[in-house]
Structure 1
Amino acid sequence: MPDPEHPDLYLASTSPRRHEILQRMGVRFETLHQGVDEAVNEEETPEVFVVRLALEKARAGLASRPSGSDRPVLGADTAVVLEDEVLGKPGSQAEAAAMLQRLAGRSHRVLTGVALVDDSYEATRLSLSTVTLRPLLPGEVDAYWRSGEPVDKAGGYGIQGRGGVFIEQLEGSYTGVMGLPMFETHDLLTDFGIDYQVGWSAEQ
């Protein structure tokens, strides 16, 4: 559970999925609110884009870190990519339906960049997964929109929720598709010498 008094790190994200994953790992953290421009730069590849945004979010969080704290800040960004086009979050039912119909019956990539920074060191990692959606019927796309789940999801679906019924195949990281890959996050924590596993117990 988050422990604001003695955090292992600060998380520069209010995403419930990222909170859930860190809690599942047993990482003690405090949330920092930050905002960065999430536009894709011209000539920028999706891989460079997600790593850059993760790093910018972590840096923004570092700038807003409580005075006197030396804990590092974790940032992450996830992109759904179809034929090198980054699909954002749908702003309407029509946009969500169009995204899902484009993704249906084919494979796409999900990239998640992760960054951990402190006053003297920065490190990044990249998670790459391939997700295949089954063909979708118009009625279930409409029903999915009414559930409210697609509104804040890149690509218009969430693998951890009702959208999981659309997933035919996953190659890569389930938690990476959720928004924070456990493997890469663990690797960063180890790189920074953070022994978050010290609090693990049989009761957790």
Structure 2
Amino acid sequence: MAKKESKSKSKSNTKKGSRGSNNAEELKMLKSPLTEAFNNRELVAKSVGNTIRNFLMLNVIIGIVILVINVYAILWIHKLDTINCACSESYMRTYIKYYLYVFIPFICIDILMSLYILTSNTSILDLANNTLYNIYRNIRAVFSIFTIVNIVIVIIFINKLKEINCVCSEDIVREVYWIYNIVLACYLCIAFLIIIVAVIMMFMNTSSMRQ
């Protein structure tokens, strides 16, 4: 009888042990997709963070290059004023000068903001909720109209100086600023074409869905 009881107890213990191991395996099976999802989420968050950081660093580098070009451009315009370069006197020269007075501080603010985000725990979403930043962004958006006008004026103005062979305006800065604005014009044209194509594609998709 004692042997039978011990056998039955051992069987029940083995059954309990097998059930416990099965439950543990089931828990592992349940946990593994959750842990994988959590790990994937962390990886995605890290990759997004690294992408934003790289974008901000690139933004700072490009901003510094743009700042240097435009600072040299305003110095060139001031030189034309100082030497009384008669063949360069035009409303276009005046427009470029006053445009640069406003544009250069904007570039400095953009660089400082990018550096602030890089060096602090502030995110772009935090800035998006900031009232002052939203006001600045709206002013910047309105000013972009004057930027487009300036690109056109600079290209026309420097081309005109070359056509009339304005010797007193000749400078390496003039050539660099001219090329810089041509590059900007090409960039804007490509961006505009992409927007037009995207709008046409959206219109075609909506019309096909209605049919």
Q: Aligning the two structures, in what range does the TM-score lie when normalised by the shorter sequence? A: under 0.3
Ranked by relative contact order (alpha carbons within 8 Å, sequence separation 6 or more), the top structure is 2
Give TM-score, length-normalised by structure 1.
Answer: 0.21
> Which protein has the bigger strand share?
1
> Which protein has the bigger helix share?
2
